[in-house]
Amino acid sequence: MLNTKTILIVDDEPRTRQGLKNMLEAWGGGRYEVKSADNGHDALDMLKSEPVHLLITDIRMPEISGLNLVKLLESALLTYKPAVILISGYAEFDYAHQAIQLGVVNYLLKPIRKDKLIDTVERALEVGEERSRISKMKRIVDRKLIQVTEEQEPVSEQVKEAIHYVENHLDQGFGLREVAEHIHLNPSYFSVLFKEQMQMTFIEYVTRLRIQKAKELLLQTRLPVAEIAERVGYQTTKYFNKVFKEYEGHSPGLYRNEIKSQAPEV
């Protein structure tokens, strides 16, 4: 079921579990794979072993309650963090409050009407997709570059001009000397000025910018790694792989596969 989203229903009551499954399968028409579990332990194993896009769980269950299951998701090593809907046979407002704090999308009371269920599921899946996009963007951006942009005092015109030059020539092989000459500064003075105003060396800045651009290309295109390396200014793929791994902890290929598995395409 390529690109099919998975919905997991967790409830220790067989009738409720099967009833929800039947309603969602009829509504989904094959667009979603609807799975079920009768306890929190099995649900957690399933969540750890495969991507689940939406978790619908009863609050009151033996051993692992619905709320505890949601809490366990925060520390579990999941390939994908699902949106969550909690269900209950009681108007447990204290539980509802805790659910909101845990980021649960919605809270449904039994008996659950089909129209209410479908409406809630549709909105939860939309929330999950938005979270997926945000998660992916967080993995692309370089926090240090963002911090420099947001927190530093306004930089001098020379440094601004240097940054502009770098951004427009990222695919080319240049060094500090070329950029310093372009803005008519002594290379040594430019090096000190840049580090003082940007809180990182010129070389680090250029490298971070290249790696960030590479991450965008890895996730937003199907270009081979060798071509991406060339587009961000590296003359050899081997050196690009080495630098990328130093900054991201993975080779470019593994990074692409890992992020796409954690944030599946919508």
Domains in the chain: boundaries: 5-134, 143-262
Fold category of 143-262 in CATH: Arc Repressor Mutant, subunit A (1.10.10)
Write down the CATH superfamily of domain 5-134: Response regulator (3.40.50.2300)
| CA angle (208 as vertex; 205, 213 as ends), nearest 5 | 125
Strand partners of residue 87: 58, 108
pLDDT for 204: 96
pLDDT for 105: 74
> Does this model's pTM top 0.85?
no
Those residues of the chain that have pLDDT short of 70 are: 1-3, 77-79, 91-103, 135, 149-153, 260-266
pLDDT for 36: 95
Pseudo-torsion of CA 11, 12, 15, 18, nearest 10°?
Answer: 50
pLDDT for 264: 44
Place of tokens 């900054």: 247
